[in-house]
Amino acid sequence: FWDFLILFFCLPVVIFNEITKKRLLGDISCRIVPFMEVSSLGVTTFSLCALGIDRFHAATSPQASARPIEQCQSIIAKLAVIWVGSMTLSVPELLLWQLAQDTSPVSGVVTEYCTMKPSSNLPESVYSLVLTYQNARMWWYFGCYFCLPILFTVSCQLVTRRISGTEKKTECRGTKHSQCESHLNCTIIGLTIIYGLCTTPENVCNIVVAYMSPDMSKQTLDLLNLINQFFLFFKCSVTPVLLLCLCRPLGQAFMDCCCCCCEGCSPDTASSEGSADSKLKTEMSSSIFFDKPRESPPPLLALGTPC
């Protein structure tokens, strides 16, 4: 959902700015777009950490194959912690950026751009905190939003595989359960690889700009910033597709929802056929949960008999 927000709000603003050299929504977009982009990195980082912890619990659970489904309240609480924590850590971005204007010496056209400069109207204590965040922003990016999710996911996967390997020697688990666990582990690894590949250019550019910014022109810095933003947009586009392809239960549920929507828009004959097929599928799927076939109820006995 956060990837959808990035594509829905941030991508049009960036494209509009590159075409017209004017900031859509003015100073608000200069603050909201970096805030949402950094929040997106935080949501992905802490989600990968939470998924790694979940895989570790699944591997170390004494009855992993019969582990109960987690309640909705618990999942919502975890999502709230991830989202609120990511947005809280991104609050300095709202105070760090501001709108600036520059006049081209050749054409005389006034262009608007966002600059990383705290406002002097801030209170002194807040201004010093934002300035400290600006100075440590590069290493904060590299440590929290790049090293943390990758190292955390890799360590959790190694520990999980070590525990799963020892348990396979002592006990034999179900084939379906082991296949499900492998699919989930592959999903987490795939998400981590995509995230690492898409955030590596930004971290490399941040380090290069931090040490070579006096020798680089403004056009080069703007180009690097644009490349970093489009790598983020690429990550937001690929992550949902990869999740639906690798996580088979989620992908099947998504396809079922799409089929239901298509059947709802089709004629009555198609809907009747679809309902018949769905009824047949329901009966076939329900038969899986019964060890014995359904029996017809016994006939009613006549009143007054010895039995």
Question: Looking at the predicted structure, is the pLDDT value of residue 168 above 80?
Answer: no
Q: Which residues, 6+ apart, have CB-to-CB distance to 91 below 8 Å? A: 35
Supply the pLDDT for residue 68: 65
Q: Which domains does the chain have, with CATH numbers?
A: 1-60+70-168+182-261 (1.20.1070.10)
Q: What does the pLDDT look like over 198-236, one tens digit per residue? A: 888 888 888 887 777 666 777 777 788 888 888 889 988
Q: Is the pLDDT of residue 272 over 60?
A: no
3-class secondary-structure state, position 98: strand
Longest dimension (CA), the chain: 111
User: Burial level of 127, CB count in 10 A (0-12/13-18/19+)?
Assistant: middle
What 3-state DSSP class applies to 204?
helix
More confidently predicted of 264 and 132: 132
Q: What is the mean pLDDT of the chain?
A: 76
> What is the spatial distance between Cα 9 and Cα 236, in angstroms, rounded to a whole number?
12
42 CB contacts (<8 Å, ≥6 apart)?
82, 85, 86, 87, 89, 90, 144, 145
Its pTM surpasses 0.85: no
Paired tokens of 221: 């810095």
pLDDT at 297 over 90: no
- 3-state SS, residue 176: helix
